[in-house]
């Protein structure tokens, strides 16, 4: 009899309320979910998501970036916490801090992020305003591996919503956030379960999963 696959040890990094963190924690409660959330860390001690994680029985760590003399000092402290917790995969969920190239390279292939646009369109901030200004008909969110270049890593999964007449940045953001909460746990499960992996800088999937499962690109007519 084959032994069950060990669950991947995951740390989630947040800077605020952590709504995507909440969706990941809820998904990981399922006994067959392939990832275990073992640590939630924040660069802001006041981040509301820390209390939620603690109430769910997850270890938390606040590392106030303002207490460190430079970016390298903060990143070294964060890396030490991740290593001490035996983390195998780092998940950014509203972590509003640019990590140094050295940190990113140390976690290459082991760190993912969710970005509120259909990358490679609209990198950086104010993505919903960018989408409206460009007049696109589809907008959405992307789960991708983190690389030193901002929002440029290999794409794991995307979800799209239509841009509706009368949309503003707030209404568009709200509909996309719903999709983020669905997409991120499913993308994490693909990676942690070994069904999505990096090969030569691109994400490849087990068998015909990308077509059969309907996970990787989902279009919601209602948003």
User: Would you list the DSSP string of 117-149?
Assistant: S-TTSS-SS-HHHHHHHHT-SEEEEEEEE--SS
How far, in Å, CA of 100 to CA of 89, rounded? 17
Residues identified as active-site: 115
Strands 196-199 and 202-205: antiparallel
Backbone dihedral angles phi then psi of residue 66, each to the nearest 5 degrees: -70, -15
Cα 45 to the chain's mean position, in Å? 20
Nearest Cα to Cα of residue 198 among 146, 163, 151, 158: 146
């Amino acid at each position: 009899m084959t032994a069950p696959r060990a669950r991947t040890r995951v740390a989630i990094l947040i800077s605020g309320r952590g709504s995507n963190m909440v969706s990941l924690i809820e998904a990981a409660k399922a006994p067959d979910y392939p990832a275990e959330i073992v640590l939630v860390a924040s660069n802001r001690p006041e981040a509301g998501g820390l209390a939620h994680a603690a109430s769910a029985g997850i270890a938390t760590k606040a590392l106030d970036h303002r207490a460190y003399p430079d970016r390298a000092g903060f990143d070294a402290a964060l890396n030490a916490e991740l290593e001490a917790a035996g983390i195998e995969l780092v998940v950014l969920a509203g972590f509003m801090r640019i990590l140094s190239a050295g940190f990113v390279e140390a976690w290459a292939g082991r760190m993912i992020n969710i970005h509120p646009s259909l990358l490679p369109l609209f990198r950086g901030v104010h993505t919903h305003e960018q989408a409206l200004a460009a007049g696109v008909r589809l907008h959405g969110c992307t789960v991708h591996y983190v690389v030193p270049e901002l929002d440029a890593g290999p794409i794991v999964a995307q979800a799209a919503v239509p841009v509706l007449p009368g949309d503003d940045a707030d209404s568009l953001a709200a509909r996309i956030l719903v999709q983020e909460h669905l997409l991120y746990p499913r993308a994490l499960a693909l990676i942690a379960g070994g069904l999505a992996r990096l090969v030569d800088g691109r994400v490849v999937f087990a068998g015909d999963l990308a077509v059969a499962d309907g996970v990787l690109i989902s279009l919601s007519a209602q948003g």
